[in-house]
Chain A
Amino acid sequence: MTVVTSKVCIVGDFAVGKTSVVERFVNSQFSDKYLTTIGVKVDTKEIDLPQRGVQQKLILWDVAGTDRFGDTEFAYLRGASGYVFVADGTRPLTMGTATSLRDRAFEHYGVKPAVLLVNKHDLTGAWDVSEQRLKGLQAQFGSVFVTSAKTGAHVDDALTHLAELIVDRAIADQQ
């Protein structure tokens, strides 16, 4: 099985749960304690993609939350093979931020495989995303997952899907 390493950047607005998503995906853990990320935090996770005959090692760059990219954040995105955009389902504005960040990243580094995670689905009382909005986001991002870092719902699915997109993109580029 071929081993492929890919850089994936996790980006999104402040406190949308980027670090919690990574922690759930990498270590299957969750903490209610909020620790803001300064700069960037790097984790790795290996995923087997047997159908494609590839073992994908994701280098996850958990970039500090921001509503717009500065020079340093742009530097962190350089060379990324894919993006995980994260929004907070209880704060509709964060979805707009995710869209804005996506546009800026693609504008700067080209279009790359990406998924949008609308997170905090466990907070059903505060959930504020309509089905129509989700469809709109689906049209923009191509892949949208309603996730919960707390329960782990769809987190692995989202990251695995992104890994597949990255491999498919690489194969397409080679061809």
Chain B
Amino acid sequence: MSDLETLKDLLFGTEKQVLDSISERVESRELRSADVADILPEAIHASHRSGGELIKALREPVGACLQQEIRDDPQTYGDALYPVMGPAIRKYIMHALRTFTQQINEALEQSLTPKGLSWRVQAWRAGVPFGEFVVQKSLLYRVEQAYLISRENGLLVGHAQHEAARIKDSDAVSAMFTAIQDFVKESFSPDRTGRLESADMGEFTLWAVHGPHALLVCVIRGVPPRSLRADLSAILERIHFRYGDAIRTYSGDTASVPEVEEELTACLRLEARQDTGTANKGVSWPLLIILILVVGAFGYFAVTGWLQAQQIARLNAALTDTPGLYITDIYRDRQSVLVRGLRDPLAPTVSAVAAANGLSHVEIVADMQAFQSLDPTLLAQRAANRFGSPEGVSFAVEGSRLIVSGAAPVDWQEEVALAYRTLAGLDDIEFRMSPDERAEQAAAAPGVDLGQLDAIVRQLDGRAFYFASGTTLTAQSADALTAYADQLKAAAADLALLGRGLNLTATGFTDPVGAPEVNYALAQQRAEAIASALVELGWDGAIIARANPDRATDVSKVDPSLRRAIVELESVETEPTQ
């Protein structure tokens, strides 16, 4: 060592050692790398905190690096990203499915079929959206077995099965599925990338979900929804995440995949049944109240409807039994009862019939057309109205015969006899007079006093006789005239004894048909015919024949009873005969 070196050691001994150490570190690549590695994390942190320069600096080389790596080894990155991409894709699909379910929900909300309403109630009770409930109802399924199979060697990594499922040898099933998978891939997939993903076996569906190192095969009873595949993928992703290396290198040692069957058991919980979530729920009071209200309303309307039907039936029976009413239609229209049919003017109104039968509270709208009833009661009443009804006289109808009973003047009887045919439904007449009544009709007996004679005169006064045509009397009037002449003569004889006499005036009438002059002459002739007949029959008293001065002008009233002559009496004082 030179003096200079010795001097340096004396002067800068410690510092020189430090400088040598620094020089050595700078010159040594390994040491520099170790130093940089030591401070690199802190340097990156410090640079990141100080600004975005580090990101800008790394963006391009890191991006290029990733692109190159992914291009060179896509499988590794695919496997690495599998646990990340699965949930992301599933989340997107779930969102799409939820939107789709929403659309189904809106569509089904418009349907009001009985089944739809029933499902709506069940969905409401189960507390799930209606669309989701419909999907559950439509897609009933249950995962009965789940196999986790190594893709490398087809060995069964794990197996879980439902209590109800029966299987002989899960290892053999696993191996056979792998063999089938290989066979299908080799036979039908030209590039050998195809995979057997589902198979149908009667009521079972077999689904295979493929992962990087294992595939999950599920035996499903029924028809599974597509969303189930996403659930199974999630389970397989979780298994890969937990047992990734163990599955990749699985060689049959079950101890290398502890508790994998617990993971597979999650598959068995994937099921949809008709009574899911509803079997153990208690009674839903709102639903019960609604049911009670519905049943109550139904009962109210049923009873009300029945009562209204009974009212209509009673009213119909009462109307049908009433003469002069003919009902063609009767029905309820909202709050009122509408009645259609025919009504004779003489019959009671529909409302009157209803009131008489205790149905006055029923609002009735009657649409009745007028008609003439041939009911015997109404025919008799119509005859009474037509001819008037003297005291003690009554009408009845038997078949088409008009029965007149009681005491009535002869001329009235003759009037009725002439005119009864004008009433529809009558073609015969019968007068039924009692013996006492006939006695009253007898002429006053000789020796009666003036009062009695006056009564007789009043009875004989105004008697009408009817002509069949021209100046020919009807047979009945001819007979009546004969009896009348006898009564007149008897009365005149008695009056003569009392110093009184009778002046007769015969007035002729005609119907309005024909010329007035001719009719006037005919009326005169009829009066004279009566006068002549009375003279011929022995009447020897005064008698005046004249035509009716009031000429009828209403030609529409063709009434046979107008063809008549009326005899009027006037009692006058005379010299008493001895």
Number of interface residues of B (CB under 8 A): 23
User: Are A59 and B254 closer than 8 Å at their CB atoms?
Assistant: no
Chain B min CB distance to A78 (Å): 7
Within 8 A of A (CB), among B128-163: 150, 152-156
CB-CB contacts of A1-39 with B at 8 A, as 1s and 0s? 011111100000000000000000000000000000001
A170 B186 Cβ-Cβ under 8 A: no
**Closest beta carbon of chain B to A25's beta carbon, Å:** 14
**Chain B positions within 8 Å of A80 at CB level:** 153
Q: A39-B179, A42-B179 are in contact. Are A5 and B186 (CB under 8 A)?
A: no
B255 touches A2 (CB 8 A): yes
> B263 at the A/B interface (Cβ < 8 Å)?
no
Please, which residues of chain B bring their CB within 8 A of the CB of A43? 172
Looking at the assembled complex, report how far the CB atom of A143 sits from the nearest CB atom of chain B, in whole angstroms: 20
Q: Is the CB–CB distance between B182 and A72 below 8 Å?
A: yes
Of A4, A61, A72, A76, which one neighbours B252 at CB under 8 angstroms? A4
Q: Are A44 and B169 in contact (CB under 8 A)?
A: yes
* Interface contact A59-B155, CB-CB below 8 Å: yes
A61, A71, A75, most chain B CB atoms within 10 A: A75
Q: Is there an interface contact between A44 and B255, defined as CB atoms closer than 8 Å?
A: no
Q: A72-B186, A79-B155, A81-B153 are in contact. Are A7 and B175 (CB under 8 A)?
A: yes
Residues of A within 8 Å of B150, CB to CB, are 79
Q: Which residues of A contact B298 (CB under 8 A)?
A: none
On whether A5 and B179 interact (CB within 8 A), knowing A81-B153, A81-B251, A81-B252, the answer reads: no
A76 vs B155: C-alpha distance in the bound complex, in angstroms? Answer: 12
Contact status A39-B183, CB under 8 Å: yes
What's the Cα separation between A53 and B175 when bound, in Å? Answer: 25
Instruction: Enumerate A74-99 residues with CB–CB distance to B below 8 Å.
Output: 75-76, 78-81
Residue B176 at the chain A interface, CB threshold 8 Å: yes
Known A5-B155, A7-B155, A78-B152: A59·B175 in contact at CB below 8 Å: yes
Residues in B with CB closer than 8 Å to A79 are 150, 152-155
Q: A36-74 toward B: CB 8 Å interface, digit per residue (1/0)?
A: 000110111000000000000101010000000001100
A40 to B252, CA, bound (A): 20
Q: How far is the CA of A160 from the CA of B176 in the complex (A)?
A: 23
Question: DSSP class of A's interface residues: helix, strand, loop or mixed?
Answer: strand
User: Quick one: CB contact mask for B173-200 with A, threshold 8 Å, 1 for yes?
Assistant: 0111001001101110000000000000
Give the chain A neighbours of B156 by CB distance below 8 A. Answer: 5
B171 and A5: CB pair below 8 A?
yes
- Residues of B close to A2: CB separation below 8 A: 253, 255
Q: Which of B171, B182, B187, B251 contacts A44 (CB 8 A)?
A: B171
How many angstroms from the CA of A44 to the CA of B168 in the assembled complex? 11
Q: How far is the CA of A76 from the CA of B180 in the complex (A)?
A: 9
CB-based contact A78/B182 at 8 Å: yes
A40 cross-chain contacts in B, Cβ below 8 A: 176, 179, 183
Partner of A5, one of B183, B187, B252: B252
With contact pairs A5-B252, A6-B252, A42-B175 given, residues A75 and B182 touching in the complex (Cβ less than 8 Å): yes
CA distance A81 to B253 in the complex (A): 12
Q: Is the CB of A72 within 8 A of B183?
A: yes
Report A-chain residues with C-beta under 8 Å of the C-beta of B253: 2-5, 170
**Nearest neighbor of B249 in chain A, beta-carbon distance:** A173
A-B contacts, 30 of them at CB < 8 A, read: A2-B253, A2-B255, A5-B155, A5-B156, A5-B171, A6-B251, A7-B153, A7-B252, A39-B179, A39-B183, A42-B172, A44-B175, A57-B171, A57-B252, A59-B175, A61-B175, A71-B186, A72-B186, A72-B187, A75-B182, A75-B183, A75-B185, A76-B179, A76-B182, A78-B152, A78-B154, A79-B152, A79-B153, A79-B155, A81-B153
* Contacts beyond the supplied A7-B252, A72-B187: 16 A-B pairs with Cβ under 8 Å: A3-B253, A3-B254, A5-B252, A7-B155, A39-B179, A42-B172, A42-B176, A57-B252, A59-B155, A59-B172, A59-B175, A75-B182, A78-B182, A79-B152, A80-B153, A170-B251
B residues lining the A interface (CB < 8 Å)? 150, 152-156, 169, 171-172, 174-176, 179, 182-183, 185-187, 251-255
- Name the 6 nearest CB pairs between A and B, nearest first: A79-B153, A5-B252, A75-B182, A42-B175, A72-B186, A40-B179
